[in-house]
Amino acid sequence: MEQKVPIAKKVASYVRGKPYVREAVEQGIVNFSALARKIGHEMPRTSKVAIKAALLREARKLSKKRKNREKAVISLLRNSKFSIRNKMAAVRSKEPLRCKPIAYSKTPSGYVYFLDEDDVAGQRALKKLSIIHIKSSNEIVELPGVAAFILSSLAEEGINVFHMMDCREDTFLVVSEADAPFAFKVLAERLRL
């Protein structure tokens, strides 16, 4: 005999499987009746009222978790040290280079080095970049959502992050030199520094 899955579990699974829906439910910016009707199409013979009630319970749970996670992320970042380094350049190479980068990444398609513009003579490079360095406590290793908080804060303001490197307590964000002061301001405001 087939075991019946509770409506609450089905609704939670639906919401958690759709990131944009989850975000809207977490923030309470969704029409719960309309969403219940939409979910109802996937759950025939299930009361829309029961689905909506399950959605509202799930929203309270998700909202509480989100607030607690965001509070922890903000607390960690408030205690971090931020610095900006400008006049940077990015150099891509299939082979390792002999250079003294500020930071670099190795990927399956090669290497990306971040150097002072003055150190890239004779090489093809993307210039006029800045690196925002965030030095955090080692608690960052155990705390989910730090990168998401940083990147979404910048994306909401139209700031493109060309590259992000994260290694334990050090987070490097590569942005255009023109965006760097605004990016720093945005993060400071989000953290209410």
Q: pLDDT digit string (tens) for 56-91?
A: 999 999 999 999 999 999 999 999 999 999 999 999
Close Cβ partners of 190 (under 8 Å, ≥ 6 residues apart): 74, 149, 153
Name the 3-class secondary structure at 43. Answer: coil
Domain boundary, last residue among 70, 90, 110:
70
Number of domains in the chain: 2
Q: Is residue 1 part of a domain?
A: no
The answer on 151 and 89 residing in a single domain is: yes
Average pLDDT on 182-191 reads 94
Which pTM was predicted? 0.78
80 residue type, one letter: S
User: 87-137 pLDDT, tens per residue?
Assistant: 999 999 999 988 889 889 998 999 999 999 998 877 789 999 999 999 999
Give the whole-angstrom CA distance, residue 12 versus residue 59. Answer: 9
Angle at 62 between CA 167 and CA 15, to 5 degrees: 95
Whether the CB-CB separation of 136 and 76 falls below 8 Å is answered with yes
Query: What residues make up the domain containing 12?
Result: 7-70
